[in-house]
Amino acid sequence: MSLVITTPTLSAIAILRARAVESESTVYGARREYAKGINGLSDIAWYRDGVQLPKAIAEEKAEYYKALKAIGYSNPSNAWKMVKQYAFEAAKAEGLFGEVVDTEGEGEGEASDTRETRSLTLRMVEELTKLHKASMKIKDSRPEEYTDKIRAAHGHVIVALKAMGVDVGI
């Protein structure tokens, strides 16, 4: 009895390589969008080591782990580590949570040619969150400017944030 060893053809390997790269690019992009979205659930730099996760993010992390385990993902903590890294990068790029915006590679007075497109969901959460925070700041620091019109509009912002699944703590 002789043992026959077959080796895959180069074209078969090229197909497998293309599939592997395609799946990695999909994972990479999806994780980046997910991380940016999670930033909209917090008003602190939650991705830093040693920071206690806000309730909404802790709940999201638990759901993420549960979903990864359901598909047999072997190391959810490594996936979460990547999400945190991407969240930091997104916060830095957008100047969130006091992060310094990275302008490396941009000339004086000119904007970068590469701009990531935000999903509509992320854009809504980010913009509504900014309006909510600004309203709360005015309400607390300059209550005379928190008029009936602003109060009514702020109420709609809160309703919109809740519709987007954001826990505003109210």
Query: Residue 107: its pLDDT value, please?
Result: 43
Residues in the chain where the model's pLDDT stays below 50? 105-115
Residues 32 and 79 in one domain: yes
**Residue 156's domain spans which residues?**
118-170
Residues 84 and 41 in one domain: yes
The tokens of 64 are what?
A: 């993420």
Closest among 125, 120, 118, 123 to 60, alpha carbons compared:
125
Query: Residue 26: its pLDDT value, please?
Result: 74
Is 109 within a domain?
no
Q: Which of 74, 100, 126 marks a domain boundary?
A: 100
Query: Residue 2: its pLDDT value, please?
Result: 63
Question: For 112-162, how does the pLDDT look when each residue is reduced to its tens digit (9 = 90+)?
Answer: 444 455 667 777 888 888 888 888 888 888 889 889 999 999 999 889 888
Query: Residue 104: its pLDDT value, please?
Result: 52
- Percentage of the chain surpassing pLDDT 70? 82
Query: Residue 60: its pLDDT value, please?
Result: 93
Query: Residue 65: its pLDDT value, please?
Result: 94
Is 80 within a domain?
yes
DSSP 8-state assignment for residue 102: -
Q: What span, in angstroms and rounded, lies between the C-alpha atoms of 18 and 88? A: 29
Q: What span, in angstroms and rounded, lies between the C-alpha atoms of 165 and 41? A: 9
Residues 61 and 126 in one domain: no
Query: Residue 15: its pLDDT value, please?
Result: 83
